[in-house]
Structures are given as C-alpha cells and as structure tokens.
Chains A and B, each alone.
Chain A
Amino acid sequence: MKGFILSFRSEFYKTRKTAAFWSSVILPLVICLLLFVGFFSHSDNLAKQPGAMLWFQFAGAILGVMGSLLLPMLIVFIAYSVNNIEHKAETWKTLFSLPISKLSVYSAKYLYALFLVTLCLALFLLFTLGFGNLLSVVKPTLKFNEYHMEGFLTQLYFKLLLSSLGILSIQFLLSLLFRDFLKPMGIGFAATIAGVILAGTGWQYAYLYPYSHAMLTVKSMHEARGGSDHAMPQLTVDLLTKDIWVSLAVSIGVFILGYFIVLKKSVK
C-alpha cells in the first residue's frame, strides 16, 4: 500500500507541469467560461425563459458535446499522456527496477489517470453550477436562481464518470503497450465515432460497447426530460443501468488483463 501511495504521489509530481494535468483543469474552465459569455451576451433573448429551461440549456450545451466526443477523447488523451511520459523518457525500466511492486506501479498509474478524469468531470460540474449562479447575479433577468439542479447534475456527472471507466481501461492498456501516438489515438478516435453512431441510432446492443456509454448516459438525461414536457421535468438519474454495469465489468476485466501483461512483459 505504501508503494502505491508513493507511486501515486510521484505520478502527480511528474505530471503537474504537463498538458495532461492542466488540460483537465483548463478544458472545463474554458468551455464553461465561453458558455457564460454566450449566455451573458444573449441575455435579452434568454430572459423570457424559466429558470429550469435556462439550466437545461446551460448544462445541456456542455453535456451534449461531452457525451458525444469530448469525454471519450479526453480519456484517450489522458490515458495516452500518463503512459507516454514513461515511453518518452525511457523510464519504464527504472520504474520496474524500483523496490516497489509491479502492481503498485501499475495501479497507481491507472488510478492517477482515473483521478484526472474525475478531476475534469468534477470541475465541469463545479464550473457549470458556479457560472450558472454567477449569471443570475450579474444579469438578474436570467433567473438561474429560481431553479436548482445541483443534485441532478451531480448524479449525472457521477454516472458519466462510471460510464467512462470501460474506455479508460481499454485506452490505458493500449497506451501502455504502444509507445507511438497514432495507434491508441487512432483506435480511440475510430472507436468513439463508432460508439456515437451506435448510440445515436439507438442500436439495441449499444450498451455492450464501452465507447457508446458516455453517449448513452447523456441520452438518458434527455429522455428523463422529454418524457414530461409540460409539467416540471422529472429529474432523476437511473444510476446503475445495464450499460454502467458493462462499463464497470470491462474496466475491471481489462485492468486485470493489463496487470498480467505487465507481469509477463519484458521491459525494453
């Protein structure tokens, strides 16, 4: 356990000045800031809307891109970055000749990638709520303060996190095995596009395909709202749907598979 904590801290120490780390912070900030500016400058048109609709448009704009492309590609990038730092510096051989178990080194790296994804999603949630509320302060005509969706959004972002675990494990393993940029990136990109198409067309087995999970999660939100157009929207998130179970199973399976590959693999 000590080896794991040391390795995890070292991961942070190594990446704290890299794009991998800062992209997880800057991306949510920039996107939420852009939306803030957009809503602020179009406040006259939006002023008629009730608070609930404002929130849906504000949060939905982010979630729309997030589910289809942003989250999967961010995961592809993070998984690549945390492994590439060792490929580039030729440091796998040093990592695996430290007096620290291979499981600690491997799992610390994996969980650090998961930490970055979690950080990014948490910041998206935080900035969405923060900038939404800020809008109602600086433009009182925008009635963000009349409606609250903190609980719902938190649940939804948590579900997005769970839905990303499958892709994360697969991309992590690909980036661990291939030292070049194109293979994990290319595979990840193609697989994500396929996932968006499969989930978008409503293929009944899309829940089995990890790269569709983020999209399915975002779609489930739209359905929860669309079902009750006239009354107050029904805001519940069904957390443990079957796609989430698949995502969890894939992530655990691939994580274990990856560990055995690390054990057997010769370090070049």
Chain B
Amino acid sequence: MVIDTQGLSFHFGSQQVVKSLSLQVPEGSIYGFLGPNGAGKTTTIKLLLNLLKTEEGSIRIFDKDLQSNRIAILAQIGSLIEQPAIYLHLTGKENLMNRALLLEVPESRVDEMLALVHLKDAANKKAGKYSLGMKQRLGIALALLPDPKLLILDEPTNGLDPNGIIEVRELLIKLVTKHNKTVFVSSHLLAEVERMATHVGIIDHGELLFQGSIKDLEAISQPRVQVEVNNTVDAANLLKKQGFTVTDITEDNLSVPFISKTQMSEINALLNKNNYQVYSIHKVQKDLEKLFLDITQKA
C-alpha cells in the first residue's frame, strides 16, 4: 500500500471533521477520493501531508510512519491543495524556478513541465494575469516538478474547461500506466472519478462510506429490468401477484430487480399472455451518480 491510514480522526474545535478513516491506496492506482463539498476531503489530504497534526490513528506512506519519516516521505510526494499556491508577482516560469531551486531540480525540468501543461507561451507572463485554468495547470506543473512517486491532488480539474479536464485526466492515466506513479485525487464529481479511477473511496461527514476498486463499486449498483408497457399500474399489479418485486412505476415504465435473462423473458411472456403491449424490455445498470447519492445520503 502506498497510503495506509488506520483509525484517522481529526477535530476542528468541537466539530469532528474526519472520523476513524482507514484509507488503503494500492501502488499504481488512481484513487478517486469522492465526497460532497465539506465532507472532509481537504482535511484528510492535509493530514496526509502532515500539515495538520494527526490526533488519533496512524498514517503510513510508502510503508513508513509519516510522523517519524516526514521529510523522506514528503520528498516523494507532489501535491496540489485547494486553489494552487502561486506567487502572483512572479511569472509562471519564475514560480517553477523558485520551486526547482528549493527541490534542487534542473531548469530543463522546468521547461519540460511548462510544455507539459501548455504554458510555454505564457511562461514569462505574471501569474497574477493567468486565468483560473492556467493557474490550475501551473499548480499541476508545480506538483509534478520533482517527479514524485505519489501525486496528491485536491480537485485538480477545478476551473478547467472541458479540454483541460480531458488533458488532466489523460495525463494522470499516463503517469500511472507508463510511469508507475500512484495518484490520489479528490473530487466531488463522480463522473470525473469514474472516467479515470481504478480505486474509489467515498467520504461524507468525515466517514468513509465505501472503499474498493471501481469494479466493486459497479457491482454494488444493482441492475434492474425496465419494462415499457401500455398500462404500467395494472401490469405492475399482475407482476406482483405472480411473485415479482416491482421497485418503481412511472407512467411509461416499471422496474423489477434484475435476476437473470430467463427472468426477463418470463416477464415478457407473462405480460404478452395477459394482453399487455410491451414496447420494450431491457436491463439497466443503476448509474453511479445515483448510487453515489444513495451512499452519501444514507449516512
């Protein structure tokens, strides 16, 4: 495990922001850390970077205890927390040069990073004049500058246009698949995480509600059979009498939990036999967006 926390808790005053969090981030994964705004994502990230003192529980990164190996661990992490930290009176390149100086990274790497995030043309422009998206890209370049083994990014696509979002996503996927990095990325958008993550953790009110691979998440989203039929209410009553569970009825459709393909044909035959007009019948995967809402609202 690249990140392994046990029973991690944190308070701001009397408010508990993180509750007994046990994160497991495997090597080579893109771990999507999902949760609504205010769920405790940024606080967790600050705990992982030792910016906040761990009150309860433990954090191990690269199989080393964070408290006692702070500098060795931080040397292998690149991070972007909340809005990017940029000196607005310096140019984009100067911001990177300053960080390169601190991390003893050669200037050639700075130019590489500028090219990577498409800021070469704006390299000598004051960062204060950058658009939000440009600042975000500069923030990503700063995080990538030391070529870290682990990237921790807090909402990295905030403020980016659709092209920018796709670029960041592809960049992260490339870093993991081609360069053996591990990425821990927080987001409040499930669709965003769904498109790139290999692993997911869902947090709400400081509690981890789900953790597993993206496949595990899809698996718990139970599929159902959606039937489009002329008289949904009567048809639903008929199905219920025959021992089917009907979960949802609208004017045009009714839904039954999916069990097997045979079950689908049985439903079709039954409705046809009773003179209902079946316009369509198909299996529907519950979308993750709904699942996410279900999971976060249960808490």
Does A222 reach chain B (CB closer than 8 Å)? Answer: no
Cβ of A13 and Cβ of B98 under 8 Å apart? yes
Size of the A side of the interface (Cβ < 8 Å), in residues, is: 24
Most A CB within 10 A of own CB, among B75, B82, B98:
B98
Does A97 reach chain B (CB closer than 8 Å)? Answer: yes
Cβ of B87 and Cβ of A10 under 8 Å apart? no
Does B52 reach chain A (CB closer than 8 Å)? Answer: yes
Most A CB within 10 A of own CB, among B51, B82, B94:
B51
Give the docked Cα–Cα distance between A85 and B87 (Å).
Answer: 8
Cβ of A97 and Cβ of B53 under 8 Å apart? no
Cβ of B89 and Cβ of A17 under 8 Å apart? yes
**A2 (CB) vs chain B CBs: closest residue:** B104
Chain B residues whose C-beta falls within 8 Å of the C-beta of A96 in the assembled complex: 50-51
Does A46 reach chain B (CB closer than 8 Å)? Answer: no
Does A33 reach chain B (CB closer than 8 Å)? Answer: no
Chain A residues whose C-beta falls within 8 Å of the C-beta of B90 in the assembled complex: 14, 17
Does A183 reach chain B (CB closer than 8 Å)? Answer: no
Chain B residues whose C-beta falls within 8 Å of the C-beta of A146 in the assembled complex: none
- Chain A nearest CB, measured from B53 CB (Å): 7
Given A10-B98, A93-B46, A98 and B89 touching (CB < 8 A)? no
Cβ of A13 and Cβ of B101 under 8 Å apart? yes
A168-198 vs B, CB cutoff 8 Å, 1 = contact: the mask equals 0000000000000000000000000000000
Chain A residues whose C-beta falls within 8 Å of the C-beta of B144 in the assembled complex: none
Most A CB within 10 A of own CB, among B72, B75, B87:
B87
Cβ of A6 and Cβ of B87 under 8 Å apart? no
Does A91 reach chain B (CB closer than 8 Å)? Answer: yes
**A7 (CB) vs chain B CBs: closest residue:** B102
Cβ of A93 and Cβ of B75 under 8 Å apart? no
Chain B residues whose C-beta falls within 8 Å of the C-beta of A10 in the assembled complex: 98, 101-102
Does B16 reach chain A (CB closer than 8 Å)? Answer: no
Contact of B74 among A18, A97, A266 (CB under 8 A): A97
Does B29 reach chain A (CB closer than 8 Å)? Answer: no
- Chain B nearest CB, measured from A180 CB (Å): 18
Give the docked Cα–Cα distance between A6 and B88 (Å).
Answer: 21
Give the docked Cα–Cα distance between A186 and B46 (Å).
Answer: 32
Does A89 reach chain B (CB closer than 8 Å)? Answer: yes
Contact of A93 among B74, B85, B87 (CB under 8 A): B85
Does A227 reach chain B (CB closer than 8 Å)? Answer: no
Give the docked Cα–Cα distance between A184 and B101 (Å).
Answer: 30
Does B77 reach chain A (CB closer than 8 Å)? Answer: yes
Chain B residues whose C-beta falls within 8 Å of the C-beta of A264 in the assembled complex: 53
B58-94 vs A, CB cutoff 8 Å, 1 = contact: the mask equals 0000000000000110110101011101111110001
- Chain B nearest CB, measured from A23 CB (Å): 15
Does A41 reach chain B (CB closer than 8 Å)? Answer: no
Chain B residues whose C-beta falls within 8 Å of the C-beta of A100 in the assembled complex: 71, 102
Cβ of A14 and Cβ of B98 under 8 Å apart? yes
Cβ of A97 and Cβ of B77 under 8 Å apart? yes
Does A42 reach chain B (CB closer than 8 Å)? Answer: no
Cβ of B51 and Cβ of A89 under 8 Å apart? no
**A102 (CB) vs chain B CBs: closest residue:** B70
Cβ of B87 and Cβ of A89 under 8 Å apart? yes
Give the docked Cα–Cα distance between A93 and B74 (Å).
Answer: 12
Cβ of B52 and Cβ of A267 under 8 Å apart? yes
**A18 (CB) vs chain B CBs: closest residue:** B89
Cβ of A267 and Cβ of B87 under 8 Å apart? no
Cβ of A9 and Cβ of B101 under 8 Å apart? yes
Give the docked Cα–Cα distance between A254 and B32 (Å).
Answer: 44
Does B103 reach chain A (CB closer than 8 Å)? Answer: yes
A sample of 17 inter-chain contacts (CB < 8 A) reads: A6-B104, A13-B94, A13-B97, A14-B98, A85-B87, A89-B85, A90-B83, A91-B86, A93-B46, A93-B49, A93-B51, A97-B50, A97-B74, A98-B74, A266-B46, A266-B52, A267-B51
Given contacts A6-B101, A6-B104, A13-B98, 4 further A-B contacts (CB under 8 A): A94-B81, A94-B142, A96-B50, A266-B46
What 5 A-B pairs have minimum CB-CB distances, sorted nearest first? A99-B75, A267-B51, A91-B85, A99-B74, A94-B85
